[in-house]
Structure 1
Amino acid sequence: MRVEIWMDVVCPWAYIGKRRVERAVADLDVPVEIVWRPYRIDPFAPVPAEPLADALGDPVADDALRACAPGLTPAENRLRVDRIAAKEGLGPRWGAGWRANSHDAHRLIALAEPAGVQDAVVESLLRAHFIDAVDISDRDVLAGVVGDVFPEGPALLAGDAGEERVRELLLEGRARGIRTSPTIVVGDRALAGAQPPAVIAEFLADGGERRPVPAEVERYRWTESLLEQRDPLGALVLLRPLLAEHGRDRSVRLLAARAWYASAQLGRARAALEELVAEHPADAFAQVLLGRTLQRMSRGEEAGPHLRLSSAMRQSA
């Protein structure tokens, strides 16, 4: 069974959730592969990090903390998390010391996957942040944290290794509706939050391995999801491999045109749509989108025929 866990290493519930998943998995009769995926609870955390005590007065940080526990103040939530962490055996000391940007940590986690040491890297990072209370946004600190389990990892951070992978995974998570750290995903099912081990075990026992879907179909669906969420630039990032491999596919070209239009890249949208309507003049959607693109380019006279044609096709349908 393949289990994806979407989480942020600066989220205390991620560490609590990891312990609970480990207990739940131990009671299963099937082998489980756990894969760690990135989620950012505080994407605006500074580099270099700032002491958490100072950050707690920052309205942005306060909003991020309140989002983790609706209905509780950050102070109330910290006390609750402290008690739960102690019950899970996390300690003896517990508590982050820094408001740290987790971007490089997520790069290490992504790079550790093909090396087969992802879980060890995640454990090292969580322990460093919440028990050792060190600044995991500092690359020298990261080298010491993961050096024993992933010795080649720190050197990779000097370049751009893992940058594109993490960016794509964050967009994929958003497209798939990941909204909480941690979120456990099996197949098409998701379990949000650090649930008790019994709840996690029941969720995993229900299976949920999805039928194989071609990778390009999944990517197409994620791109559509980001467009629906009004993130056309993110959609174009996910669409890039499809354009490279299936750039002549009509659906891919139309999806790209939608993203270019939505991101105000009107010249590119116009070029793609003019080609599409020349090849498929009965495509009412391409006609209307071309008309609207030309309107936004202040070319109303050229837009008119496409808008009238698309209207006529819709009325006769």
Structure 2
Amino acid sequence: MRIEIWADVVCPWAYIGKRRLERALANGLGEQAEVVWRPYRIDPTAPAQAVPLQEALADPAAGEALAACAPGLSPEGNRDRVARIAAEEGLGPRWGAAWRADPHDAHRLIALALAEGGPRLQDAVVEGVLRAHFVDALDIGSPGVLGSVARGAGFAAGERLLAEGAADGLVRELVLTGKAMGVATSPTLVVRGQALAGAQPAETVAEFVRHAARREHRAVPEEVERLRHAESLLERRDPLGALVLLRPLLEGHGRDRGVRMLAARAYYASAQLGRAEKALRELVAQAPDDSYTRYLLGRTLQRGGREEEAATHLALARAMTPEYAR
């Protein structure tokens, strides 16, 4: 049974949630579990070069972003509360981040550790990253700091892989996948399609894992899951994100009508009208009686100011499906 932790390593509740999950999985429950960390971003506007956290919190936008892992609390109230809870969880001896750092490379290192050494190595890297940020008050956006974390975790190749740009695209895809799944809090546990948001008490986490373990869950092929996630992003008004997830499907299953139709919708929604028109014309040629495809082609031409061409397709679409006349 796989337990996924969707979390941002600059969110203090991620570290507290890690300790609580470890306690929840003690006494035999963890023997049937494989814990995997996935990236989430609470502060996507973090600067490429880290800045002192106290300075950053003077920016209201930064304070709002950093408060996202504790909705309803001010940044000051969150820091005070989380410091007390961290002490109770045995995290310390000192506690508190000192830098507003971009965690993208830290997430890359964590993803690479999983790929290179499995969950055990990934866990060691996660622990090192969180300790560096919250206990040692280091800049986890720094290659030197991340290299030291990698070596300390027994991941000697990590620093080199980071320098080579490895896992950059993977992490960006995973962040989009989390968004498509509806992950909106750091941390969020996902087990067999069930989610538990927040760093819940260990007893709550244990009960959640037991319940999820009893739940029947039918895995779907990776390609189907990717297509569903891309559609979810489109429904969440992120057509560019949908296209990122669709890219491998377009390369490997480019003749599949469902894949091509979803791509055409994403092109249209992101105002890539030339690409939308090309895709839709091919789809209309294959299935002239598909009223929705013809309607979307008409709307695409209409948005491009080609009213006369659009009128023919819109009229045919409305003749086949009268509700398109509304």
Question: CA offsets per residue over residues 121-176 of structure 1, 9 Å max, x none?
Answer: 00000000001111110111211122132111111121221111001000000000
CA distance in 2, matches of 1:106, 1:74: 23
- When the two structures are aligned, how many residues end up with a matched partner? 317
Q: Distance in 2 between matches of 1:278 and 1:145?
A: 56
Aligned to 1:164: 169
Matched, 1:10 2:10: yes
Match of 1:22 in 2: 22
Distance 1:107 1:73 in 2: 30
Query: Would you say 1:257 and 2:264 are equivalent positions?
Result: yes
Correspondence for 1:190: 195
Cα contact 1:188–1:209 (8 A) shared by 2: no
Q: Which runs of structure 2 are paired with 1:89-100 in the superposition (5 Å)?
A: 89-100=90-101
CA distance in 1: counterparts of 2:158 and 2:37, whole angstroms: 16
| Aligned mates of 1:173, 1:28 — CA distance in 2 | 29
Amino acid at match of 1:186: V
Alpha-carbon distance between aligned partners in 1 of 2:57 and 2:302, rounded to the nearest angstrom: 48
Q: Which residue in 1 is equivalent to 2:102?
A: 101
- In structure 2, what residue type is equivalent to 1:266? L
Name the amino acid aligned to 2:26. A
Structure 2 unaligned runs (5+)? none
Partner of 2:125: 121
Q: Which residue of 1 aligns with 2:242?
A: 235
Match of 2:63 in 1: 62
Q: Confirm or deny that 1:201 pairs with 2:202.
A: no
Cα distance per residue 1:6-36 (max 9 Å; x no partner): 0011110000000000000113444210000
Separation in structure 2 between the aligned mates of residue 77 and residue 307 of structure 1, nearest angstrom: 54
Deviation at 1:198, TM superposition (A): 0.3
Task: Decide whether the 8 Å contact of 1:17 with 1:182 is kept in 2.
Answer: yes
For structure 1, which runs of at least 5 residues remain unmatched after alignment? none
Q: Is 1:314 matched with 2:318?
A: no
Note if 1:218 corresponds to 2:225. yes
Give the secondary structure class of the aligned counterpart of 1:4: strand
Give the letter for the 1:142 counterpart: L
Residues in 1 aligned to 2:178 and 2:27: alpha-carbon distance in whole angstroms: 28
Are 2:11 and 2:66, in contact at CA under 8 Å, matched by a contact in 1?
no
Aligned counterparts of 2:77 and 2:274: Cα–Cα separation in 1: 52
Question: Is 1:146 aligned to 2:147, yes or no?
Answer: no
- Tell me if structure 2 keeps the 8 A contact 1:48–1:100: yes
Deviation at 1:62, TM superposition (A): 1.1
User: Which secondary structure state, in structure 2, belongs to the residue aligned with residue 291 of structure 1?
Assistant: helix
Q: Is the 8 A contact 1:104 1:157 kept in 2?
A: yes
Contact 1:56/1:62, CA 8 A, preserved across alignment: yes
2:304 equivalent among 270, 275, 297: 297
SS at match of 1:247: coil
- For the aligned residues, what is the CA RMSD? 1.4
Corresponding residue of 2:112: 111
**Is 2:180–2:230's contact at 8 Å kept on the other side of the alignment?**
yes
CA contact (8 A) 1:28 1:205 kept: no
SS in 1 for 2:6: strand
**Normalising by the residue count of structure 2, what TM-score does the alignment of the two structures yield?**
0.94
Distance apart, 1:304 and its partner CA: 0.9
Matching residue of 2:136: 132
After superposition, where does 1:276-295 map in structure 2 within 5 Å? Answer: 276-295=283-302
C-alpha contact (below 8 Å) 2:106/2:140 kept by paired residues: yes
Q: Tell me how far apart the structure 2 counterparts of residues 209 and 190 of structure 1 sit (CA, whole Å).
A: 15
Is 208-217 or 165-174 further displaced after alignment?
208-217
Superposition deviation, residue 316 in structure 1: 9.4
Q: Report the Cα distance in structure 2 between the residues aligned to 1:209 and 1:22, rounded to whole angstroms.
A: 24
